[in-house]
Structure 1
Amino acid sequence: IDADFERLPSIFYASDKKGVKLIEREYEIRKRYELPVELLNKGELHKRYKMRTYAGALLNRQSAQLDAYKAATLLFRYHIKKDHLQIFTHTKITSCEETPQGCRLKTKDDRTIRCKYVIVAAGFEAGQFLPEKVMKLTSTYALISHPIDNKDLWPEHSLIWETAEPYIYVRTSGNRIIIGGEDEDFNNPEARDELLREKTEKLEKKFHTLLPSVPFKAEMTWCGTFSTTKDGLPFIGTWPGTERIFFDLGYGGNGITFSMVGAQIISNLLQGKEDERKDVFGFGRIC
């Protein structure tokens, strides 16, 4: 499956004094546990990556990126052919309950689905199947540039993000640049969309401040909604007191990684294998 997977370094830079302390502490922790990391000062960042920052940064060479949407759709196609996977799109589930025999789901057109187990992996829309609110909705903004000559991009095409909140992130997609961030608490889609022009200008300005030698002209801009949790971790597993309805909710801004962890944990539990990570990511930490 070719989902444009690409190994790239990542740079996590300090936006201010608070950020300096954060990356210094993060550096110490990573070194203590023998994780690969370099600590770069402000001068090294500018010399090696053309970046103008308040202070230094952490450099990690074990990072990567892929097209998550492309990966998901290609995986579906693979298992439709290999394992006869059935997919029912545009099927709205209005209720999901556990019974002594398994699970029973109702659809919008009043059909009933019965099965042994259910796995809910629907992002923030999964909230309707939970007895309590466990996440906060956040609006986020992004833009992608017109094609840029490779020689004008920063060396190694590193993934870039900062310590500030709200933060910005920068990465490449082929010979285009994607910038995102400027998150806001979600109110409603209309209020979110009305901020798009203002947020686009702010993101462009921050990019030009960070990488002044790199040309950037936005071709497309958009905004969306995602979920965050108080501790930044996802929720994986069953709600306390239930056994058959599993949740794989990669909240916290690291959905690709957390969703993979969730797939491993839930797969183990369905096969009767113990997985100690279920306690780290489970609902028990808030119940």
Structure 2
Amino acid sequence: MHIHKGSLYWPSTLQLPNRQTPIERKDTYDVVIVGGGMSGALTAFELIRQGLDVAVFDKRQVATGSTSANTGLLQYSNDIMLHELIEQIGEKNAVAFYRLCLEAMTDLHEVANQLPIDPEFIGRDSIYYASDEKDEARMLEEFKALKKHGFPCDYWDKETLMNKTGIDKPCAIITHGDAEVNPYRFVNGIFQDFENKGGHIFEYTEVQDVKEENGLLRLKTSSGDLHAKDVIFTTGYETLPVGERIGADINRSYVIVTEPLEMPPWYESAMIWESKRPYLYMRTTVDQRIVIGGLDESEGEMPLSESRIEERGEELKKQVQQLFPDLDIKIAFSYCATFGESLDNIPFIGEHPQKKHHYYLLGYGGNGTVYSMMGAKILADLLTGKHNPSAYIVQLNRTLESESDGQTVVQ
């Protein structure tokens, strides 16, 4: 499956040495992680700190799948608003989930501070504006829900938003404690740290099957078999090597990255997104570029022609210039990328309900990196026998308040 197409910006920001020194693969590991992207990296980071013997397998080079196309906006808010999630799964569960996202933001910052490669992690506010007047009431209701439960945010009316940012929209919620990151440098920095601590990475090696054998799991790979006590699938939007994915939709989105600007383009280089769906979103980079995404389409396959990517890129540019009429931008990179969304707007994290020692971290949704950090913490607890009080919210086979049926992501 091709998960992105076009010209990618992030890989141009880091020159990597090839892993040419062969690693002597062990016959047995405590944990094998299948997938070397954001979820696999953060899970490996957490598990090796718990003293576990961990190996990561990827059928490509690590960080070259969805990580290379990740736009690197890190926010505790989700594609589904808190007050809407409360209606869906109940106040207790919805607030607990949002708090997990806020805690993950702190955890991501702590990870970034420990890496041998600068991940360009910068704390930012987010401007979440109402796309039109009909969303104004929803935005105010969301602000009240966030404030009621102690989430850091402010509300700007039309006049305040215009005076501070030049954005001519009805209102906005300003969330604090968010951040931007270079996802490619972040994941490669994590894996360098992981290897420095004795972890093993096997690139260009596909895990093809997993079977139980004498109390262990036997993993069949494209370069031979090995064993593990536990296996974790962090395969993102790829087809799972074992089992069938249900409860999620795979779609595609478009992104452009501009040429560098001479100065920050807007108020405090905040991250910006909007209330309509699909939504326009944007952020800046350390070299004063703008990363702009949106125009989601309900197809997972990449467009056949480069011209489609170029056309959608021009549409994104036009939308940004409508928001900021004085902004003169030129497109330097443009691409299309696959993304996944769960049907209930919550990621899938935990042990398979029928297959012991098979774990999953599938961070479907617009908040994928935050979900990856959340999942890494939860899985580290589960695999080391610690109780995690929030794991039930994201487990694969879940039934929460206000839901009539549970759902399972794989079978």
TM-score normalised according to structure 1 size: 0.93
Shift of 1:79: 2.0
AA in 1 matched with 2:272: I
Shift of 1:172: 0.1
Residues 89 and 249 from structure 1, CA distance in 2 versus in 1: closer, same or farther, beyond 3 angstroms? same
Shift of 1:46: 1.6
Cα RMSD (Å): 1.7
Counterpart in 1 of 2:254?
141
AA in 2 matched with 1:196: I
SS of the residue 2:303 aligns to: helix
AA in 2 matched with 1:8: R
Corresponding residue to 1:154 among 258, 266, 275: 266
Corresponding residue to 1:114 among 227, 242, 266: 227
AA in 2 matched with 1:25: E
Q: Say yes or no: does 1:237 pair with 2:350.
A: yes
Counterpart in 2 of 1:253?
366
Preserved contact between residue 145 and residue 216 of structure 1 (Cα < 8 Å): yes
| Distance (Å, rounded) in 1 between the aligned partners of 2:229 and 2:187 | 24
SS of the residue 1:125 aligns to: coil
Counterpart in 2 of 1:88?
202
Preserved contact between residue 350 and residue 396 of structure 2 (Cα < 8 Å): yes
Counterpart in 2 of 1:34?
150
| Distance (Å, rounded) in 2 between the aligned partners of 1:190 and 1:167 | 20
| Distance (Å, rounded) in 1 between the aligned partners of 2:239 and 2:148 | 37
Corresponding residue to 2:217 among 103, 114, 118: 103
SS of the residue 1:27 aligns to: helix
SS of the residue 1:202 aligns to: helix
Preserved contact between residue 302 and residue 336 of structure 2 (Cα < 8 Å): no
AA in 1 matched with 2:363: G
Counterpart in 2 of 1:50?
166
**1:65-76 equivalence runs, <5 A:** 65-76=180-191
Shift of 1:214: 2.1
Where does structure 1 lack aligned partners over 5 or more consecutive residues?
none
AA in 2 matched with 1:184: E
| Distance (Å, rounded) in 2 between the aligned partners of 1:192 and 1:34 | 47
Preserved contact between residue 98 and residue 244 of structure 1 (Cα < 8 Å): no
| Distance (Å, rounded) in 2 between the aligned partners of 1:130 and 1:192 | 32
Preserved contact between residue 161 and residue 168 of structure 1 (Cα < 8 Å): yes
Preserved contact between residue 207 and residue 241 of structure 2 (Cα < 8 Å): no
Q: Sequence identity, in percent?
A: 29
| Distance (Å, rounded) in 1 between the aligned partners of 2:375 and 2:198 | 23
| Distance (Å, rounded) in 2 between the aligned partners of 1:269 and 1:187 | 32
AA in 2 matched with 1:233: I
Corresponding pairs, count: 283
Q: Say yes or no: does 1:16 pair with 2:129.
A: no
| Distance (Å, rounded) in 2 between the aligned partners of 1:19 and 1:99 | 56
Higher RCO (CA-CA < 8 Å; seq separation 6+): 2
Residues 252 and 187 from structure 1, CA distance in 2 versus in 1: closer, same or farther, beyond 3 angstroms? closer
| Distance (Å, rounded) in 1 between the aligned partners of 2:305 and 2:210 | 30
Q: Say yes or no: does 1:281 pair with 2:394.
A: yes
